[in-house]
Structure 1
Amino acid sequence: MFQLNPFHLLHASLLHFLMLQGALIFGYLIGQQLYKRRQLTLLQQLQQLQRRIDQLRKSRLPIIDPDNLPGSDRLTEILGITDPVERILLMTGIRTFAHLSRQTPGTIQRILTNNGPLMHPYDPATWPDQARLANDGQWGELRAWQGRMRRGLAETDRTQTTLSS
């Protein structure tokens, strides 16, 4: 009768060892091929995503040069407005100090939130008041107020001086 256990053979342990080694090598080769295929698939997906990101970046905000835009003020004169923020405001139609002064801080914040990921949140609470001063040509008072804000004085300091004058 045929015995399933080959341990009665003289070199059975060696045969088992060789079969195990063969299975390990075969498994390693299969795993290596699967890994290479998965790596290639992930690389292709990464390239597709990178192309999509590039397309979105190109279509999101066109480059606007505020200096060459007719009928617009340089909004970066307002403390807190940087070049990227100015581009967003220009894209949404806010081009002058007068138009910015008519906006509420909540509206400005909503415009910034809806039109681009910014590195840090901006606080447009004083931007309409600063724009009003710039539009009225009161540059001295605007610069003095901005200096107080840079030193960390409270915003109420400016409103109290405005109310008293």
Structure 2
Amino acid sequence: MFELNPLLHENAWWQHVIMFVGAGVLGYIIGYRSGESKTFLQNQLSSLQSQLESCKASLVKSTPINTSTISIPTIAHTYHTVVEKPDDLKKIEGIGPKIEELLNQNGILTFIQLSQASTYLLKQILQEAGPRFQMHDPSTWPRQAELASAGKWQELKEWQDILNKGKE
């Protein structure tokens, strides 16, 4: 049978010594290189700190703003706006209660406002609301809102029968 003990060979101790010396040299090289990068980073850090200190010093030296020369108007103007009664935007194919709430929060309360809104704006509102709303396609909403604002309910109903969840 084979003897697997490496110490039985005459040169076995030399093999061990060579492995330890090789590992030591390799460790020394790695340590030296990491030390070089460490000193480089320390030098860069001290340079940046000195730049920061000089910026802080120049900021302190700058003259403060004279607040006595700034005049602030003291009269507040009040504007009376007519608040339109919001329409039921759920009558538009593809708009549910949550999307209606989103549109209302973004200032779209009536069919006229919805008909004037661009598809890009509507998509932006849906994207900002999160992934749950991004799957909806608002491309037909302005045209449907235009029909609804004009009171063409029969024409809107016929077109909605053709649509599939607000998509053509």
> When the two structures are superposed, what TM-score results if normalisation uses the length of structure 2?
0.47
> When the two structures are superposed, what TM-score results if normalisation uses the length of structure 1?
0.47
Computing the radius of gyration from Cα coordinates, the structure with the larger value is 2
